[in-house]
Amino acid sequence: MKLDTKNSKLPSTGLSPLKKAATYFSLVLLGAGVTFSTNYFGLRNPQSTATFGATDSSKVLAQTPPTSNLLLNQNGNFITAVVEKVGPAVVRIDSSRTVTSRVPKAFNNPFFRQFFGDEFPTGPQQRVEKGEGSGFIISNNGQILTNAHVVEGADTVNVTLKDGRSFQGKVMGVDPVTDVAVVKIEANNLPTAAMGNSDQLKPGEWAIAIGNPLGLDNTVTTGIISATGRSSSAVGVPDKRVQFIQTDAAINPGNSGGPLLNSSGQVIGMNTAILQGAQGLGFAIPINTAQRIANQLVSQGKVQHPYLGIQMVTLTPELKKNINSNPNAGLNVEEDQGVLIAKVLPNSPAAKAGLQAGDVIQKINGQPVKDAEGVQGAVENTQVGNSLQVSVRRSQRDLNVAVQAGTFPTARQ
C-alpha cells in the first residue's frame, strides 16, 4: 500500500497567517490525481505507524467489549472472534501495468548516439510497475471493495483468498475522487464481510484492521477510533472528497483497501492512508461513503460528483484582518465569519451563476454553513443538475444565487 500523496505533510507553522490560510483552501473543485501505487501515503518514509507495546497489547487482549456484544469465542477474546469471522473475506490484491516511456526527441541528435554507442535507446522503453494491496469481499458472487489507487490503470489484477485460491480480477470501476474501486472475480459461495454504519461511530470505540502490510499477509492490528469527520485537506489530500475516520490501529503499506472493523466484526471503514512521518495516525474511508460509491460503480461503471467550481476558506476575524492588511490579496473582506470565496473557476457553474471572489457564503438551501467542509458536504449531498440556493454577503448586501451543480471534471472527461 504505497500511500503516496503530494501533500502528505501538513504545512509547517512557519507560514504567515495568510499563506497558512491559502494552504488550507478547501476546494469544491477537487483534483483527481492519484498514482498507480499500492500505498496512498508514506512509501517515502518506510517508518510504520505506532503499534501497542508488549505490555499494552497484553492488556488490550485481556479486555472485552460491552456485554451486549455477542461476538465472543470460548476464551472471551473478541478480537480473535472478529478475525475468525471476517478474516476469510479479506483478500490480497496484486496488480501490474506496463508503462511505455519514449526517448526525448533531443536525444536523436547524432552526438548522443555517438557518445552512448549501442547502449543508446533508439525506441520506446517499457517497464512493468507492480503493486499490492488489500480488499474485502462484499458479495458471495465475487464483488470486492478496495482502493482505487490499488488497481487504477492496471493491466492485470490477481486476487488471492486467505484459503490460498487465486483468481484473475476484473476492475468494474474506479473513482479517484473518493479512492474507491470495485473488483470482480468469477466465484460463488464466497465468505463476505458484514457492513456496519459509519455514521454512528464515536471516538474511543474499538477499531480492528486486517490486511497485507509490507507483504505480510493476514496481519491484524488493533486500536481505537481516534476521531471522525477528518476533512481531506486536514489529512493532506485536498483532491479527495472524503470525511475520513482516524484510527491509531497500525496501518502500513499494503493495508490499502482492507477493512477497518468494529468490535462486532462489522466493516466501518476501508483503510487507505497514513501521514508521512507520523505514528499512530491512520485514516479510513467511512464504509457508508464507500458503499454509496461502490453501488454506482457496479450499476454505472462510473461516479458523477457534483461541483460548483470555487476555491474557498473558512473565515475568522484573524484571517479577515490579515487579508485586508495585505495589498496583494486582491480582496476586501467585511465579514468576520462564513465561508469566503477566494476564487471562482472560469466557465464553472459558480461563474455562470454570478458568484464572485470576495463573496462570503452564509447559507446553502436555507441551512447555515460554518466552514468550508460544510459547503463541500452540501454540494456532495446534492445531485448533478440540481439547483443550490447559495446565500452570500457581498459589499454588505445579502444576495441569493441559484447555482446548478455541474459534473466534476476528471481526467477521463
Q: Given this model, what pLDDT does residue 387 score?
A: 94
Please give the mean pLDDT across all residues of the chain.
Answer: 80
Most confidently modeled range among 176-180, 213-217, 327-331, 368-372: 176-180
Report d(CA 144, CA 89) in Å as an integer. 9
Q: Given this model, what pLDDT does residue 61 score?
A: 39
299 CB neighbour count, 10 Å cutoff: 10
Type of residue at 382: T
Q: Is 166 known to be catalytic?
A: no
- H or E stretch at 55: helix 54-62
Q: Given this model, what pLDDT does residue 283 score?
A: 94
Query: 340 - beta bridge partners?
Result: 313, 360
Report d(CA 283, CA 188) in Å as an integer. 31
Reported as a single tens digit per residue, the pLDDT across 173-182 is 999 999 999 9
Nearest to 162, CA basis, from 259, 18, 77: 259
380 CB neighbour count, 10 Å cutoff: 20
> How many angstroms from the chain centroid is the CA of residue 181?
11
238 CB neighbour count, 10 Å cutoff: 20
Burial of 39 (0-12, 13-18, 19+ CB in 10 A): buried
Q: Are the C-beta atoms of 132 and 215 separated by less than 8 Å?
A: yes
Per-residue pLDDT for 163 more than 80? yes
Strand 26-27 vs strand 267-274: parallel, antiparallel, or unpaired? Answer: unpaired
Give 28's pLDDT tier (boundaries 50, 70, 90). very low
3-state SS assignment for residue 289: helix
Question: Above pLDDT 90, what percent of the chain?
Answer: 49
Which of 94, 95, 134, 149 is flagged as catalytic? 149
Type of residue at 230: R
Give 119's pLDDT tier (boundaries 50, 70, 90). low
Give 41's pLDDT tier (boundaries 50, 70, 90). very low
Strand 259-261 vs strand 170-175: parallel, antiparallel, or unpaired? Answer: unpaired
Average pLDDT over residues 5-28: 41
Q: How many CA atoms lie within 13 A of 177 on its CB side?
A: 23
Candidate from 30-44, 209-223, 303-317 with smallest mean pLDDT: 30-44
Q: Given this model, what pLDDT does residue 123 score?
A: 62
Q: Which domains does the chain have, with CATH numbers?
A: 1-9+35-103+125-302 (2.40.10.120), 306-407 (2.30.42.10)
Candidate from 9-18, 106-115, 380-389 with smallest mean pLDDT: 9-18
Average pLDDT over residues 251-259: 91
276 CB neighbour count, 10 Å cutoff: 20
Nearest to 269, CA basis, from 318, 321, 226: 226
Which of 179, 239, 248, 359 is flagged as catalytic? 179
Q: What is the 3-class SS of the chain, one letter each residue?
A: CEECCCCCCCCCCCCCHHHHHHHCCEECCCCCCCCCCCECEECCCCCCCCCCCHHHHHHHHHCCCCCCCCCCCCCCCHHHHHHHHHHHHEEEEEEEEEEEECCCHHHHCHHHHHHHHHHCCCCCEEEEEEEEEEEEECCCCCEEEECHHHHCCCCEEEEECCCCCEEECEEEEEECCCCEEEEECCCCCCCCCCECCHHHCCCCCEEEEEECHHHCCCEEEEEEEEEEEECHHHHCCCCCCCCEEEECCCCCCCCCCCEEECCCCCEEEEEEEECCCCCCCEEEEEHHHHHHHHHHHHHHCCCCCEECCEEEEECCHHHHHHHHCCCCCCCCCCCCCCEEEEEECCCCHHHHHCCCCCCEEEEECCEECCCHHHHHHHHHCCCCCCEEEEEEEECCEEEEEEEECEECCCCCC
> How many angstroms from the chain centroid is the CA of residue 151?
14
Q: Is 149 known to be catalytic?
A: yes
Which of 226, 231, 232, 256 is flagged as catalytic? 256
Q: Is 232 known to be catalytic?
A: no
Cell of 35: 498514482
Q: Given this model, what pLDDT does residue 390 score?
A: 96
Helix-then-strand count for the chain, H and E: 10, 22
Per-residue pLDDT for 144 more than 50? yes
Per-residue pLDDT for 29 more than 90? no
Q: Given this model, what pLDDT does residue 77 score?
A: 84
